Amino acid sequence: MRLILASSSQRRLDLLARIGVVPDAVHSPDIDESPLKGELPRAYALRLAEEKARAVPHDPGTIVIAGDTTIALGRRILPPAETEETQRNLLGLLSGRRHRALSAICVIDREGRARTRLADTIVTFKRLSAAEIDLYVACGEGLGKAGGYAIQGRAEALIRSLSGSHSGVVGLPLFETRALLEAAGYPFG
C-alpha cells in the first residue's frame, strides 16, 4: 500500500518517522493559501489541509496525508514570517499572550474519502523584551514559519505554557495523525 505525503516540510517527514511511518513519495502541493473573506482560523486550517491532500497526483488505492498549521490570535490568522520585519511584528503580537496553534490533518483513503482532524493547542509566550525578539529573529529559525517561531527550536525557551499537542505546534499532531492513518487502513506494525 502506497502512502504519499503532500508536503514540502522536513518537519512533517521527521514527525511521521517518530510513529514509524515512512511515505513512499513526497509531493509538494501547489495551492493558494490565502484566507477566504471572513474565514475563521479553524475552517482555514481544515480547508488548507484538505486542499493540499487533493492537490497532489496519486493513483487510486493510494493513501495521501497532508497537514496545515495555522497560528491564530483570536479570530485573526497570523501569516508566516517571510521577512525579519514581519517576524518582529508577529513576535510582538504574541509577546505575553495566549494564542492557538491549529494543526489540521487530512488523510485521503484508498477509496478517495477524505477524513480530517484538528489539534487545537493553546500556547502562551512569556513577555518578550525587544532584545529577546532581536536575538530570536537573528537566529533565523522562525523565518517562513506560521506566527514567526519554531517551537522545536530556540523558541521553546520563550514559551511559558502549552496546553495541547506539542507535535501539532511543530507541524503534525501525532495522535490525530495515527488515528486517521489507522482509519484509512494504513498498516502499523
Residues, the chain, total?
189
68 is catalytic: yes
Residue carrying C-alpha cell 485573526: 76
Q: Which helix (H) or strand (E) holds 64?
A: strand 63-73
Q: Give the span between the Cα atoms of 168 and 104, in whole angstroms.
A: 8
Written as one string, the DSSP assignment of 167-186 is HHHHT--HHHHHHHHHHTT-
- Eight-state DSSP code of residue 140: -
Q: Which of 30, 32, 59, 68 is catalytic?
A: 68
- Which phi and psi (to 5°) does residue 117 adopt? -145, 160
Helix (H, G, I), strand (E, B) or coil at 169: helix
Residue carrying C-alpha cell 513576535 = 91
Please identify which residue in the block is written with the cell numbers 517576524: 87
Q: List, by residue number, the catalytic residues.
A: 68
